Chain A
Amino acid sequence: MTAGYKSPQFLRAVVDTLLPGETAKPSGRAALPSGSAAGLDPATYAKVARSALEAIVDAAGGASAFVRAAEADRIAVLRDVERKLPVPFRTLLAPVLADYYESRAVIAAFGWRAEPPQPRGHPLPPADEETHRRLDRVRQRGKLWRG
């Protein structure tokens, strides 16, 4: 019954239920793609998260049934498996989220830069004059500690 956990359609449906993306485009930004549209390779998860995927197949009444189900039903199945088998579910979820949130398309959709933190780092604005004046007001309060 659980042999279908490797089927590409099933794996894609799982990934896209976990990460459906955005249908509407936020102002000034690209819409978030779905997991499969972001270029995730669902086949890789069959290798690392077999027990979670098999549990999803079982809970859905078959891999094909999961693929055909409405989104609300697929979500209900995943929630059920997450509740009953939190550790195996995490074994599936962690690499899916890591692949997704490290993909250039997703990072760009958040308006962030895809290159790693180093060596460029980031600029960070210093305190402005108004903030310095606020600090002066704190200073004027005098001693706040007890001895």
Chain B
Amino acid sequence: MARLRKCDPVDVVVIGAGFGGAAFCKRLSERAPARRIVCLERGGWVDAATMPAYGSDWQRAVLGAWATSPNMRLSAGRASASADYPVDDSDSAFKPLMWNGVGGSTITWAAHFPRLHPSDFRTRTLDAIGDDWPFGYFELERYYDMNDAEVGVSGLSGDPAYPAKPPRTMPPLPLGRLGITAARGFDRLSWHWWPVDAAVNSIAHGGRAACNHCGPCLIGCATRAKSSVDCTYWPKAIANGVELRTQAIAVHIEIEAGRAKAVVYRAADGRDYVQPADFVVVAGNGIGTARLLLASEVASPALGRNLMYHPVAYARGMFAEELDGPVGPVGCAIYSHEFYETDERRGFKRGVHLQVTRENALLLQALRLDPAWGRDAQRLLREEFGRSIAVVVMAEDLPEPKNRVTLTDRIEADGLPGVRIEYSLSTHGRKSLDFGLDRAEEMLRAAVSHRVVRLPLAPMTGWHLLGTARMGADPWQSVTDAHGRCHSVENLIVADGSLFPTVGAVNPGSTIGALALKIADDLAREIA
């Protein structure tokens, strides 16, 4: 410990500069302007000029420095702007995907930006399954609205699948031939569909350009038309006085007598520092947060448990006519919540999200085939390229203690214990996906697809890392209270998707941002 260099104490130290950390810092810094806030981020800023979309070898970026999986980036052995750590996923049905740097996974997300439904906050009360959140949709609603305004949302008002939302900041993204074709299929079945809420500029907004539909959102948005928190929340938080220290890896939280005292972190100079603070806030995603809290010996029987991803499957329909090809924001076309709410006649509770996605680049389409080589693969690729629609079926993941994050016995290069995940698909998840696949195929057929293929489980979809430090009233069943404060360490706060008691069946970004804003307000009421 003698080698630790002590920093000047601050009021709040935040760990992680992704969506949760960014929204938290921006909000707290405006609500409590006199407080000194420092954020420690293990990675650095990403320079948009280094993103691959301007180069002729942009497709292969997904095999190396811009792979979606941190394990793939590490094993590719090429320098990546993401400051990754390995995750032992050998016992998990899904592979964890994330970006480690300023902006977190919003750097490489698809920016599909749905909210949870009101029923998602009350699954125990309504459906006798999962758990209720400690607060409801309408208590979070003002933070959803606030988050929408900060991020900038393209979309269309009037969606009957949700309570009324304020007018969207920008008009919806163009549907393209793909979206129009899928809309025809939903319409023929008289099913709900709607243009997605997208955290992508459909027109110039917030000092950022309009999307020019270049396609590969998952290798970073070179024009910054896609909203990521490094270019939305962070400039404002820094202008408010938040100090963001990059290449600063938090390795331990010092806890004494039930209070967090400081964060030990390793800086870019290779030295270890100790940062004392009155409050420690962790926002490192459902794996990173659990890893740090476990490594810091935070006492909680629920810590690391109830890991949820959202199980995903695909149905892909082939069409005779030309569609768009790999054009437009890949996750942002249209969606259907016809089957989102519980109907027990289906044989399972809760529902599924059907998301019409856009086509991938040639190489990614080819790599997805099994086998990816040979005459048949080339024939299939010829048939589907520019003429296929993939419908993502996303199921509600239920909290199960056996699905969890644990530590390994080894110390990794970043100075923290190694991390392992265990996750298996439940019977509920399988039933949900199968039902959703049937409906997706029905829609594709109605849209006059001549052939539909299914991927019953898509393992490379583990973006949504949720539930491992869940909120609740019972310290045996939850890690934090309704304000994100750890039951066993009252000045240790979580502000990311780890807090979700349940996860609905939609992408969590919108809810992570809204929740972090609420957690910041909760703290500001005490310290402002």
Contacts and interface: CB of A to CB of B under 8 A. Distances in A.
B111 to A, nearest CB: 15
Contacts of A143: 160
Interface residues of B, number: 71
Contact of A145 (B117, B223, B363): B117
A139 B53 contact: no
Q: Tell me which of B137, B194, B372 has the highest count of chain A C-beta atoms within 10 A of its own C-beta.
A: B372
B362 interface: yes
Q: Tell me which of B173, B184, B327 has the highest count of chain A C-beta atoms within 10 A of its own C-beta.
A: B327
Say whether chain B's binding surface is mostly helix, strand, loop, or mixed: loop
Contacts of B180: 125, 127-128, 131
Interface of A: 17-22, 26, 32, 75, 78-79, 82, 93-98, 101-102, 106-107, 110-112, 114-128, 131, 134-135, 137-139, 141-147
Nearest to A96: B373
B8 interface: no
A146 B341 contact: yes
A78 to B, nearest CB: 7
Interface of B: 53-60, 63, 117-119, 122, 126, 137, 156, 158, 160-163, 172-177, 179-180, 183-184, 186-187, 190, 192-195, 211-216, 222-223, 324-328, 337-338, 340-342, 361-363, 366-367, 371-375, 378-379, 382, 385-386
Contact of B366 (A75, A101, A117, A134): A101
Contacts of B213: 121-124
Q: Tell me which of A22, A101, A128 has the highest count of chain B C-beta atoms within 10 A of its own C-beta.
A: A101
Nearest to A121: B212
A147 B342 CA distance: 12
Contacts of A106: 362
B327 A18 contact: no
Contacts of B59: 98, 101-102
B314 to A, nearest CB: 20
B27 to A, nearest CB: 27
Nearest to B222: A118
A90 B126 CA distance: 47
Contact of B328 (A78, A124, A138, A142): A124
A94 B373 CA distance: 10
Nearest to B328: A124
Contact of B160 (A93, A107, A131, A144): A144
A107 B326 CA distance: 12
A125 B366 contact: no
Contact of A117 (B137, B173, B214, B342): B214
Given A110-B386, A117-B216, A134 B160 contact: no
A95 B341 CA distance: 44
A19 B190 CA distance: 43
A79 B377 CA distance: 13
B158 A139 contact: yes
A36 B163 CA distance: 57
B124 to A, nearest CB: 14
Given A21-B378, A82-B371, A101-B362, A118 B223 contact: yes
26 contacts: A20-B375, A20-B378, A21-B378, A78-B373, A82-B371, A93-B373, A97-B372, A97-B373, A101-B362, A102-B57, A102-B60, A107-B362, A112-B386, A117-B214, A122-B213, A122-B214, A124-B174, A124-B213, A125-B180, A134-B186, A138-B160, A141-B192, A144-B161, A145-B117, A145-B160, A147-B119
Given A116-B53, A138-B192, A139-B160, A32 B382 contact: yes
B194 A135 contact: yes
Given A101-B363, A131-B180, A144 B337 contact: yes
Nearest to B76: A94
B63 A145 contact: no
Contact of B372 (A93, A121, A141, A142): A93
Contacts of A101: 59, 361-363, 366
Given A17-B373, A98-B59, A124-B173, 6 more contacts: A19-B373, A96-B373, A117-B53, A124-B213, A144-B161, A147-B137
B54 A112 contact: no
A126 B184 CA distance: 14
A21 B377 CA distance: 10
Given A121-B212, A134-B187, A126 B174 contact: yes
Contact of A146 (B126, B173, B175, B371): B126
A134 B160 CA distance: 14
Contacts of A119: 54, 212
Given A124-B174, A125-B177, A97 B160 contact: no
Given A125-B177, A127-B179, A147 B118 contact: yes
A144 B126 contact: no
B156 A135 contact: yes
A26 B378 CA distance: 12
Contacts of B327: 122-124
Given A18-B374, A98-B63, A98-B363, A116 B58 contact: yes
A116 B55 contact: yes
Contacts of A142: 160
Nearest to A71: B375
A43 to B, nearest CB: 19
Given A93-B372, A98-B63, A144 B192 contact: yes
A101 B184 CA distance: 32
B183 to A, nearest CB: 5
B216 to A, nearest CB: 6
A93 B146 CA distance: 47
Contacts of A102: 56-57, 59-60, 363
B222 A145 contact: no
B56 A116 contact: yes
Contact of B174 (A79, A125, A137, A144): A125
Contacts of A145: 117-119, 160-163, 340-341
B183 A131 contact: yes
